[in-house]
């Protein structure tokens, strides 16, 4: 009887298939996981129970692989991009935070001719994205939702709604604070508006309740050329809440505002996001110069999205019915299954999160907004907006101040001043300078964005 063929024979006759490669450029140090380690979080991504991803606490952009199957997921507060390259031995998936990182990696491997910015893809928030690296051609990714809170389940009781909302904000801040160094200073980019105001008051009470000194806390307000309504509003807010000792004005020159640099930092060209990033970069630059070792910032990003506080009239694609009846419209845009969903950028705050995250990373700050956390978005989604507003724009715009002020009073025992909504970039400059500094020129920003990769494409 002939001897069985040895192992080398089988290898010669059945050569192994090329290993599907994943190049992950997102550093482990950038993950901010509160209650689990990265390996456990990756196992959650691969698990059949997709709901376990919702249990991953903190800020994350994670990749997990099982053979040819690759899964990706991120929290709402940060970007995560990918690009599928073609190598001689099979597909290569490149994952990164930024488009320029992907371009540089392709160039490093000699694949620059495959690159175009529009070929990069953003992982949509609140979804697990699954790709199969089989090659020639690779199938489209599959997006499975892991966060789907019930809508409109709360009663039409503004006191109850406000209490639930601020309890959730306070709870998320408490969990965040528990994983920080007990002496690390905390900065709040502060306009005196509803979102930053509630953040500041919650943090102040939280520090006292947890036995920490409130001297750790600072409210930083940007003033361009010594002007801007935010500086006056912030002073009024702090005076009326007897917290003047927390305030600090950050004065910058209008010459420090550079929208084209902001385009490069956030890798986007939408005017409102570019302008917000421009003033944010000016603020953070000055903060870094003034406080070389400062790390923690807590902002109010996502608050407008949660309570639907945007002027519907400014967007011809929106009606009040679409705003109040579509799930997480301002957080996610029209959704991954819609024609209007951008594969390159995602939608809603899922796209706009870069204006805060990338600017903070540019100056080595670690930012956090509790308003982006699922527990708070879940409370917001449970608000019966359609019933409370009855088709009235004015009722919708007034709702946010009512909800937050009532919640602050109920949970914190404080009376919070409520001022009219104003965008960051408009409140930091004089009314006369706003049009000159921020001309709303999307075509100019788009052209500049295209030049950033002109040498490659």
- pLDDT for the residue numbered 399: 97
119, 113 in Cβ contact below 8 A? no
pLDDT in tens, 372-426: 999 999 999 999 999 999 999 999 999 999 999 999 999 999 999 999 999 999 9
Q: Where are the beta strands (DSSP E) in 111-236?
A: 121-122, 127-132, 142-145, 186-189, 217-224
How do strand 121-122 and strand 247-252 relate by DSSP bridges? unpaired
- pLDDT for the residue numbered 455: 59
- pLDDT for the residue numbered 456: 53
pLDDT in tens, 119-170: 999 999 999 999 999 877 778 999 999 999 999 999 999 999 999 999 999 9
For 372, 377, 380, the CA distances from 303, given in Å and listed in that order, are 8, 9, 10
Could you tell me the sign of the dihedral formed by the alpha carbons of 30, 33, 36, 40, in that order? negative
Banded model confidence at residue 227, pLDDT cuts 50, 70, 90: very high
pLDDT in tens, 48-76: 888 899 999 999 999 999 999 999 999 99
Angle between helices 354-362 and 271-290 (to 10 degrees): 30
pLDDT in tens, 14-53: 444 444 699 999 999 999 999 889 999 999 999 988 889 9
**CA-derived radius of gyration, the chain:** 24
359, 266 in Cβ contact below 8 A? yes
- pLDDT for the residue numbered 434: 85
320 pLDDT above the threshold of 70: yes
81 pLDDT above the threshold of 80: yes
DSSP 27: -
Banded model confidence at residue 89, pLDDT cuts 50, 70, 90: confident
What is the pLDDT averaged over residues 339-364? 96
- pLDDT for the residue numbered 17: 40
6 pLDDT above the threshold of 90: no
Nearest-angstrom CA–CA distance, 290 and 370: 26
Nearest-angstrom CA–CA distance, 297 and 294: 9
Least confident of 5-9, 125-129, 199-203: 5-9
What is the pLDDT averaged over residues 243-247? 98
- pLDDT for the residue numbered 16: 45
Q: What is the mean pLDDT of the chain?
A: 93
Q: Which residues are bridge partners to 65 per DSSP?
A: 70
Banded model confidence at residue 432, pLDDT cuts 50, 70, 90: confident
106, 115 in Cβ contact below 8 A? yes
Those residues whose C-beta lies under 8 Å from the C-beta of residue 95, and which sit 6 or more positions away, are: 22, 23, 24, 25, 26, 63, 72, 80, 81, 82
If we measure between CA atoms, which residue out of 26, 37, 45, 178 comes closest to residue 102? 26
The percentage of the chain sitting over the pLDDT mark of 70, rounded to a whole number, equals 95
What is the pLDDT averaged over residues 172-189? 97
DSSP 454: T
Residue 222, number of CB atoms within 10 A of its CB? 27
What is the pLDDT averaged over residues 249-257? 96
Nearest-angstrom CA–CA distance, 329 and 16: 46
- pLDDT for the residue numbered 15: 43
> Token pair for residue 287?
């903060």
If we measure between CA atoms, which residue out of 95, 88, 109 comes closest to residue 65? 95
């Amino acid at each position: 009887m002939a001897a069985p063929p040895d192992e080398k024979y089988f290898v010669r006759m059945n050569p192994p298939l090329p290993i599907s490669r994943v190049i992950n450029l997102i550093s482990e140090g950038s993950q901010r996981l509160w209650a689990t380690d990265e390996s456990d979080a990756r196992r959650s991504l691969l698990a059949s129970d997709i709901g376990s991803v919702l249990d991953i606490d903190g800020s994350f952009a994670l990749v997990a692989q099982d053979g040819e199957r690759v899964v990706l997921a991120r929290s709402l507060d940060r970007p995560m991009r990918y690009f599928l390259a073609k190598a001689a031995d099979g597909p290569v998936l490149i994952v990164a935070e930024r488009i320029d990182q992907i371009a540089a990696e392709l160039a490093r491997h000699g694949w620059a001719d495959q690159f175009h910015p529009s070929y990069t893809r953003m992982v949509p928030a609140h979804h697990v994205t699954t790709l199969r690296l089989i090659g020639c051609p690779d199938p489209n990714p599959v997006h499975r939702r892991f966060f789907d809170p019930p809508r409109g389940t709360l009663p039409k009781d503004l006191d109850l709604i406000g209490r639930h909302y601020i309890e959730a904000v306070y709870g998320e801040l408490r969990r965040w604070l528990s994983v920080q160094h007990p002496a690390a200073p905390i900065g709040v980019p502060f306009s005196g508006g509803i979102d930053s105001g509630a953040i500041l008051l919650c943090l102040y009470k939280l520090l006292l309740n947890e036995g920490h000194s409130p001297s750790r806390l600072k409210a930083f307000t940007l003033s361009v050329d010594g002007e801007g309504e935010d500086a006056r509003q912030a002073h009024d807010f702090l005076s009326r809440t007897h917290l003047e000792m927390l305030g600090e004005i950050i004065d910058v020159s209008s010459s420090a505002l550079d929208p084209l640099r902001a385009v490069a930092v956030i890798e986007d060209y939408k005017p409102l996001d570019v302008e917000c990033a421009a003033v944010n970069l000016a603020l953070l630059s000055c903060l870094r110069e003034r406080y070389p070792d400062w790390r923690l910032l807590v902002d109010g990003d996502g608050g407008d999205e949660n309570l639907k506080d945007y002027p519907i009239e400014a967007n011809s694609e929106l009606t009040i019915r679409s705003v109040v009846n579509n799930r997480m419209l301002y957080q996610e845009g029209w959704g991954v299954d819609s024609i209007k969903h951008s594969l390159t950028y995602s939608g809603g705050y899922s796209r706009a999160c870069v204006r805060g995250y990338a600017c903070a990373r540019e100056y080595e700050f670690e930012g956090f907004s509790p308003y982006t956390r699922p527990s708070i978005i879940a409370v917001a989604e449970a608000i019966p907006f359609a019933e409370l507003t009855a088709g009235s724009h004015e009722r919708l715009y007034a709702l946010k101040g009512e909800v937050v002020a009532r919640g602050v009073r109920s949970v914190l025992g404080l009376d919070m001043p409520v001022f009219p909504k104003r965008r960051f970039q408009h409140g930091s400059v004089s009314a006369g300078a706003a049009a000159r500094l921020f001309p709303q020129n999307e075509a100019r920003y788009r052209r500049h964005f295209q030049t950033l990769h002109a040498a490659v494409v």
